[in-house]
Every structure is written in structure tokens, then in C-alpha cells.
């Protein structure tokens, strides 16, 4: 079958790399794709939100499975458009994507189904929001309700910063309509982990957990980003923690979504705070994490194509269990200088092929483009993902940075401490 991957990041390149190894797959097509995906098959210039065009293309090309990468495509209703034309889709309907597209919906949903998460209140009025903070202790957690590319969360240490964040979101509309409402919630102490489960509307199958590094600079300093690096396994996420997460968070969500007429198909990404009394849900995403996905794909040994197809068709219960490489894997994100606020694009990147030859290393493209002369250039904030697998996490990390050091890209920067918690 042909698989159409929707998206253009490192996550999508890693999915294409993995799915392209399947004997069931004749072609990996991506929309809009990137130069890494272009090495795997056709890239077509359709934007992820152009759901009508994507569905028409999938039908015309007799695509056997569409895999939705980014939340924007799911929230725009791509799965619904594909259902109308009868093309199997791995990814949630617009109604199910509300779990990520509205934090207020997600928090209310958790309340209805007793899913452990921080206490919260929703506001559309800045004066009331500020008055509410008056009776509370810092740190204050303030979130834009809608999709803000992972940047809509402010952790404020002082009332002044918290008030400024409320004004920026509600008055100045820093995140546009995503900030028509805000959620203020309790601060959860603990260590974070990203956990993933495949869902077919009725059944869930656990994948693995990974740990992301959200801050831009070494030592977890600097602004929040979409993620600067990831590693798996996350030592804090034991098998017991996984079982608790399935029992307290994933299964109640799957059952609740079905009961509310929004059955969830796709990958459910639970952003968790691991506390002494178990996992607490920070947020749901309705897609793979980026860069967690790249790390997971490096550890997946089974053929992924039949499993995603089974999930898309509601037949996950019959799919064979997934086999994983027991060795750890790591991903280092190489970002353009200035990321996340003002990434400088256009700079030339050299040395990728030498870097990719290091044992255990695989490089995925994210925000790259090829110019007319065939030079690879930065075209986004997060530009390259250097993944490596090794016998130990230390070896995987050493391999990834050996590859980074061979890449000649003065316009880029990366964190040098990916995996530090697990290495300590
Ligand atoms: P989110 O986009 O909701 O995942 O939030 C981004 C980041 O902010 C998370 O990865 C956490 O590091 C942090 N965060 C969000 N909500 C909370 C909370 N209630 N308590 C502590 N940290 C939080
Ligand atoms: N790396 C976190 C995310 O994809 O949202």
C-alpha cells in the first residue's frame, strides 16, 4: 500500500523512515514533507490544514493509510474528511482532537472521568483571573486555552509576571484566538515523562515513554520550546508507573471519549508529572511527540505499518504486540540560532552525510530546505534531529554528539546535556 504522511517535521521523517522499511509499503508520500522525506518518496505541496485537498489526493492516489503528524491537521478535521471518502486514517477526528486543541475541554473531561490532573479554573476575564491569583501561592501556571505550538504555557514565579502573562494572552492576544480563554492551574512538583499509547477508539496498546527537554538551553534554562532533545527509556517511568498510567489515565480517557461520542483513534500522548502518589496528567496531545517520536522509532523493532493500519480500522485488539530494542536511544535537536523566539533561517548546513555514518546514528530532517544549487539550508526553528542508539545511554549520547560535531552549521545550536537526568 501507499502511505501518505501529513506533516513536515522530524517526527514525520522518522515515521516515514520506519514505515518505509515495511514490506507492506510500496511508497511513502508526504505532504508537504521536507528534504529528508523527499529521499523516501514523493513530496506533494499541500498544506496540512488543506484537508479537502489532502482527502482528494488520497482518494485519487488510492492511498492505503494516511498518518497524521501534527495536531493542526487533526484539529482541522482531516480524519473526518478522509472518513467521508473511505481512506483509512491513523489520527483523531476533529471532535477527538479537542483533547489537545482545548485545554479547558481537556481539564473538564478529566474532571468528568476522575483522571488525575492539577486543579484548575478557566477565565476569559483578566480582572477575575488576577483576583483569583490574589489568594494563591507561586509558582503560577497560566495556559492559553487553544493550540499555541507548545508555547502557550507560562510558569510565573511572581505575581507581576503572572499578571503580565494574563494581559499578554487575554488582552494583547499573543496567541491569537488560542488565547480567548486561559486556564490557571495548580503547580505540580515532580519529574516529567512523555508516555504514548496507540488507540483505535476502543482498545489501547502502550508504547514506550521518553523524556523530553523543554527548555532551550543547558541546565534546563531559558524559554520553553517544542522540545530540544529526548531519550528513552526514561528511568523514572517504571513498568509499575506504566501500568498505573494505563489504568488511571489512558483507559478512562478511551472509555470516556467513546461514551461522549468522540472515540479516539491515533496516538494518545500523555504529558505526565511523576509524583510519589503516581502519574498526574499535565496535558494530552493527540499525536506523537517531537522529538520523542524520533527516539521511539529508533527503538521499535516490529513492522509499524500493519499496527497503525489496525488502529485506523478499529482492529488493534488483533494486532501483534510490538517488539522493542532494549538499548537506549537519544535525539539531539539542532535548532537555528534565535529559536524559539526569532529563529534565523537561510544558513547553509554541511557535513550531514559524514555525520550520518557514525555507528548507531540516524539523522532526521525537520526545518530544512534545498536551494537551487542543492545546498541544504535552515528553514525553520528546529532544523535537524540527530538520533543515536547505543548499548548504554552514555554510548548513545556520545554517538549523537560525535555526529553533531561533524555537522558544519554555524547558524545552529543545540543543548549539550541531553539525557543528563538519566546519566547522573
Ligand atoms: P504543556 O504545554 O501543558 O505541556 O506545558 C508545558 C510545560 O510547562 C510542561 O512540560 C511542564 O514543564 C510545565 N507545566 C505545565 N503545567 C504544569 C503544572 N501544572 N505544574 C508544573 N509544571 C507544569
Ligand atoms: N516534545 C513535546 C511535544 O511534541 O509536544
Say if residues 183 and 148 touch (Cβ distance below 8 Å).
Answer: no
- Which residue out of 104, 155, 226 has the highest number of ligand 1 atoms within 8 Å of its CB and is therefore the one to mutate? 155
Residue 407 pLDDT more than 80? yes
What percentage of the chain carries pLDDT values higher than 90?
A: 96
Ligand 1 midpoint to CA 185 (Å): 10
Could you give the dihedral angle defined by the CA atoms of residues 135, 138, 144 and 149, in that order, rounded to the nearest 10 degrees? -170
pLDDT at 171 > cutoff 80: yes
Annotate 32-56 with three-state secondary structure: ECCHHHHCCCCECCCCCCCHHHHHH
Predicted confidence (pLDDT) at residue 327 exceeds the cutoff of 80: yes
Residues in the chain: 424
Relative orientation angle of helices 159-166 and 126-134, to the nearest 10 degrees: 160
Residue nearest to atom 5 of ligand 2 (CA): 289
Chain segment 146-159, per-residue pLDDT in tens: 998 777 889 999 99
For residue 174, the tally of other CB atoms under 10 A from its CB is: 17
Residue among 106, 119, 140, 153 whose CB has most ligand 1 atoms within 8 A, to mutate? 153
Q: What is the pLDDT of residue 223?
A: 86
Quote the ligand 2 centre to 148 CA distance (angstroms): 12
Residue 149 Cβ contacting ligand 1 at under 6 Å: no
Our mutation pick for probing the ligand 2 site, out of 226, 330, 382, counting the most ligand atoms within 8 A of Cβ, is 226
Does residue 131 have a pLDDT over 80? Answer: yes
Q: What is the pLDDT of residue 276?
A: 87
Predicted local distance difference test score (pLDDT) of residue 237: 96
Full-model pTM: 0.95
Whether 329 has a pLDDT exceeding 80, the answer reads yes
Q: Which ligand has the shortest distance to the CA of 139?
A: 1
CA dihedral 164, 165, 169, 172 (to 10 degrees): 30
pLDDT at residue 424 tops 90: no
pLDDT tens, position by position, 22-49: 999 999 999 999 999 999 999 999 999 9
> Residue 92's pLDDT is what?
98
Contact 249, 117 (CB under 8 A): no
- Residue 277 pLDDT greater than 90, yes or no: no
Rg, C-alpha atoms of the chain: 21
**Structure confidence by residue, pLDDT tens digits, 349-366:** 999 999 999 999 999 999
- Ligand 2 center to residue 291 CA distance, Å? 7
Check whether 81 has a pLDDT greater than 90: yes
**Cα(77) to centroid(ligand 1), Å:** 26
Mean pLDDT (the chain) is: 96
Q: Which of 20, 19, 16 minimizes the C-alpha distance to 30?
A: 16
Q: Which ligand is nearest to the CA of 156?
A: 1
* Stretch 167-174: mean pLDDT: 94
| Of residues 113, 272, 111, the one with CA closest to residue 183 | 111
Distance 195 CA to ligand 1 centre (A): 15
CA distance 131 to 418: 39
Query: Cα–chain-centroid distance for residue 132?
Result: 32
Q: Mean of the pLDDT values across residues 274-286?
A: 94
Amino acid at each position: 500500500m501507499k502511505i501518505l504522511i501529513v506533516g513536515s517535521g522530524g517526527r514525520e521523517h522518522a515515521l516515514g523512515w520506519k514505515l518505509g522499511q515495511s514490506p507492506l509499503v510500496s511508497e511513502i508520500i508526504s505532504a508537504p514533507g521536507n528534504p529528508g522525506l523527499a529521499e523516501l518518496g514523493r513530496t506533494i505541496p499541500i498544506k496540512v490544514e488543506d484537508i479537502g485537498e489532502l482527502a482528494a489526493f488520497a482518494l485519487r492516489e488510492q492511498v492505503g493509510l494516511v498518518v497524521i503528524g501534527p495536531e493542526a491537521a487533526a484539529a482541522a478535521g482531516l480524519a473526518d474528511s478522509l472518513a467521508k471518502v473511505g481512506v483509512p486514517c491513523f489520527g483523531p477526528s476533529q471532535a477527538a482532537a479537542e483533547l489537545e486543541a482545548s485545554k479547558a475541554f481537556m481539564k473538564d473531561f478529566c474532571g468528568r472521568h476522575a483522571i488525575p490532573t492539577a486543579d484548575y479554573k478557566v477565565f476569559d476575564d483578566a480582572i477575575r483571573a488576577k483576583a483569583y491569583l490574589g489568594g494563591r501561592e507561586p509558582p503560577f501556571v497560566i495556559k492559553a486555552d487553544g493550540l499555541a505550538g507548545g508555547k502557550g504555557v507560562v510558569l510565573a514565579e511572581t505575581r507581576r509576571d503572572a499578571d503580565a502573562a494574563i494581559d499578554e494572552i487575554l488582552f494583547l492576544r499573543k496567541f491569537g484566538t488560542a488565547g480567548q480563554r486561559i486556564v490557571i492551574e495548580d503547580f505540580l512538583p515532580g519529574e516529567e515523562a512523555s508516555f504514548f499509547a496507540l488507540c483505535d477508539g476502543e482498545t489501547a496498546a502502550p508504547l514506550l515513554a521518553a523524556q523530553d527537554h523543554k527548555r532551550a538551553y543547558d541546565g534546563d534554562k531559558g524559554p520553553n520550546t517544542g522540545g530540544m532533545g529526548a531519550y528513552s527509556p526514561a528511568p523514572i517511568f517504571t513498568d509499575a508507573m506504566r501500568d498505573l498510567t494505563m489504568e488511571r489515565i489512558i483507559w478512562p480517557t478511551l472509555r470516556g471519549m467513546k461514551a461522549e461520542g468522540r472515540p479516539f483513534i491515533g496516538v494518545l500522548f500523555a504529558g505526565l508529572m511523576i509524583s510519589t502518589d503516581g502519574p498526574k496528567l499535565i496535558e494530552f496531545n493527540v499525536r506523537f511527540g517531537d522529538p520523542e517520536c524520533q527516539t521511539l522509532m529508533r527503538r521499535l523493532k516490529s513492522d509499524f505499518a500493519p499496527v497503525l493500519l489496525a488502529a485506523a480500522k478499529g482492529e488493534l485488539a488483533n494486532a501483534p504486540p510490538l517488539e522493542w530494542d532494549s538499548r537506549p536511544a537519544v535525539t539531539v535537536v539542532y535548532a537555528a540560532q534565535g529559536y524559539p523566539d526569532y529563529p534565523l533561517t537561510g544558513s547553509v548546513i554541511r557535513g550531514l552525510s559524514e555525520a550520518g555514518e557514525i555507528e548507531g546514528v540516524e539523522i532526521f530532517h525537520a526545518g530544512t530546505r534545498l536551494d537551487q544549487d542543492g545546498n541544504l539550508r535552515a528553514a525553520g526553528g528546529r532544523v535537524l534531529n540527530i538520533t543515536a542508539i547505543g548499548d548504554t545511554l552514555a554510548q548513545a549520547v556520545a554517538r549523537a554528539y560525535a555526529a553533531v560535531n561533524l555537522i558544519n552549521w554555524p547558524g545552529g545550536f543545540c543543548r549539550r546535556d541531553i539525557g543528563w537526568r538519566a546519566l547522573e
